[in-house]
Chain A
Amino acid sequence: MSDAKCFTRLKASEIKTELETLVESKKANGTHRLTVRRQILKKIIANINLNNSDMVHLFPEVVDTVLTEPYASDLACKKMCYKYFEAFGAARPEGTLMCLPSMLRELTGTGDAYARSLILRCLAGIPLKQVAELLAEPIRGLISDEDPLVRKTACFAISKLYDCDAKLAARHNLIGLLNDRLYDENSHVVASALASLSEITEKNNTMKLVVNDSHARNLLTVLHRCNEWSQCYIISALTAYVPQLADDALFVVEKLVPLLRHANTAIVLNALKCIIYLSNYVEDITDAMPVLPKRLGNAMVSLIAKQPELQFLALRNVILVLLSKPHLLDLDVKMFFCKYDDTLYVKDTKLEIIYLLANAHNLKIVLKELEEYATEVDVTMARKAVRAIGNLAIKLPRGANACVQLILDLVAVDLPHITQEAVVVFKNVLRKYPREFDSAIQTFIKYTDLAVTALPSDANPFVNHHAPEADPDAVAAIVWILGQYCATIDGAVTILDRVTRDFLTDTIDVQLITLTAVTKVFLQLPSKDSEALLIARLKLATEEVDNPDLRERGFFYWRLLSSFPQDASYANAKQIVMNKLPVISTDSDKLDVAILEELELNIGTLASIYLKPVKQVFRLARTRILPQSACLVRKPRPVANDQHDALTRKISPINNPDLRANLELHGSYAGRAGSRDDFSRSDDDFVESFRETSMSSSSSLGLNKGIAAIGNVNRSLTRTGSMIGRKLTLKKN
């Protein structure tokens, strides 16, 4: 009979009758009774799994099974009964307590170790204080049982008891017993005790796992004698070891390096975490161990051959190490080139790594590869590749020319999604190198203005088909370029007119930028056309728009231009509007040292996947910092503490359901977040021009928010901008 037949929802009464007939039937012999009883128990367990809470009524029957022969000595029956107790034990304390004595008797007896460990596991798994109390005494004996299997199970039982009733555990000094197990002769028991202790300390803010020198050495010798998961926990526990001498740290690192070759990915990553952690306690670890970066790099690269899920996690952690300790990872950027059948999230992460690894030496091949991605079928991937190219131009001043050339080549392909993205990044490039690419602007505008705004019907049908809607970011970028560089663009006024003719339906960002741009055009190229354009847009903004910010901005420019009637060349206004822009850089993607330090200590954990400090993912979690020691190498902390606070405050709520958005947002290469923030800046050029007088620095956000800068910076900045504008106009009045 197949088990699937048990998998039907039954009522407790039905099973009861079935049991009764079994008891009453006379012809059934012992073995038959046993098989039928097993079958009935199977049905009960299946029903528990189907979330059938009706099964709780069968408690007396199950207790009966455990207490009567021959079922009580049948392992299969017992296993199932234990499962039942674990599920419903807490719901029926009186029933549980009834069968407890016999179970405890067997537990403390001298029977089979396997059977005893099963009982122990079951009893500890019942979240009932009475059970915990009764179990606390026998467990003291069991933890030093002669059978290692029982000792091992007892280790976990203690952490379960602790979870159930912490006071009880403290009263019976169970933690102390667990500590003693760390010196057990059996390596598996040691590992279990460690795992159990770290579970307990993780939850408790007053306790801390401390591994001292001799113990660390002991753990290292034990390491090779355990199974893979025990190894995993031991290595993890080694991060609690605080070396007092650089040599001690090096000794541990040396022992850990061979583990980087282990087939189990979790071990590799834990070893990496531990090595990175210990490297903080050695003045210059690459000096002491020149091969280390190569070994770490190799270890990470070989993880790329694993299943996509594992790959992804490994790559996320590569990013982390590259951000905090790039000198410890010697990687060949070629190994991170995407394969065409990689899953999307792996490709994404690889792209980030490529960006981080790019330097003047490998720029050529990197750009070639990025060009491939940019012309890829997948639109999101193509966009990201284009973005990465633009960011490389900003990151590597010497390679900027090559990057810009590539962007121009890509734009020439005339595909809307590429063009839109290209405009956005090109704008950033212009911000970084204000006068260098003047010659390229003309070509650029020629290709882009149509594609970006996706004019209906009269435009190229191809474009229409693929870009049903214009990308507001791209429109904003092109408007900014037109405004800023109108002097170098032929027919800038006409183009600007065309691009912004849907002024009223544009998004608020685009509208704000439009106002600034038309003002700039008017100031730089005073002519009938530009004046007409300016007046038309200002009129719309002040008369037909409901948004107070936008209206105020319109009034502001209006007043600015009309307040100095005697100044025919608008020298004052020019000085204000066309003020020198602050140069952007990617230096801001360097994260705060404290955040990096914390992330680094969490390699391989969930926090490393979200690339966010633990505190932000889980409010209650404890922040981990590098423990002090004589040999701790402290890095200078360039980032002031208050700024750290500012960054953390802006972080989106922890329970953001959209992880994808999170990952995208927190990408270390300028993701959407980065470029958006930048918009609000460029749109607020005029804010910047007042910066010196009104505000020393409204915000120090740059191009790349990097990991921690998140959230609605965009909105808040826009708001700040108009507030200042309003204040100023009030003063004037």
Chain B
Amino acid sequence: MTFDWTTFALQLVNVLVLLAILRHFLFRPVAAIIAKRRAETQAALDAANTARAEAEAATARAHTEAEASAAARAGVLEKAEADAEEQRRKLLSSAHAEAERIIAEGRAALTRDEAAATARRMAQLRDLAAAVATRALAAQPAGPQGYADRLAATLRAMTDSERAALLKGGNLQLVSPDDLPAATLKAAQDALSNYGATAQLTQDPDLIAGLELRSDSGVLRNSLAHDLDQISSAMQDDRASA
């Protein structure tokens, strides 16, 4: 066995050359691509961390804005409630004033209406009174003698039974508002005597004018007061039916 120094030298050179070749064509490119991938991975991680930080900051900002919005909303609501309350108060005050004005106007109108109604009623009463008086006066006979004549005519117009019931009733009286003239009283008593009855004269100022025959069983109306009542009742019935 010998040691070939030439081969040793060549192999030494060969390995050094191979070292240079592999360093250039294998290890450097592979190490570079590994470093590049690590850099990209680190960049992606940094970007992800940055994005996460930004997302967290955005979330914090969103929370802050949400809280601010909630506070603003509460403020707006509170202001709106205050405004609404103020508006309600104003409306109520205005409504009260308007109601009071309407009530005052109503009361004034009522007062006016009542005055007008009273005036109308007074006018109606005046008209009624005038009509009643006109009618009554138109239906009245002329003077006490006329009443005596109308009493006699009424007696004659009554049926025998009605007349007998009136005349036999007892306490038979001739009633006038004041003293009658003698002729008139005589004429009235004569008319009674035709049927066998007598009566004393009594006075009743409420009759106003006229001559009535009263007994315990009835009254023969023949007076201005009675006519006024009759006419007034008839006119009130007519107004009611109208």
Query: Is B one of A's binding partners?
Result: no
Q: Which A residues fall within an 8 A CB radius of B?
A: none
Q: Which B residues fall within an 8 A CB radius of A?
A: none
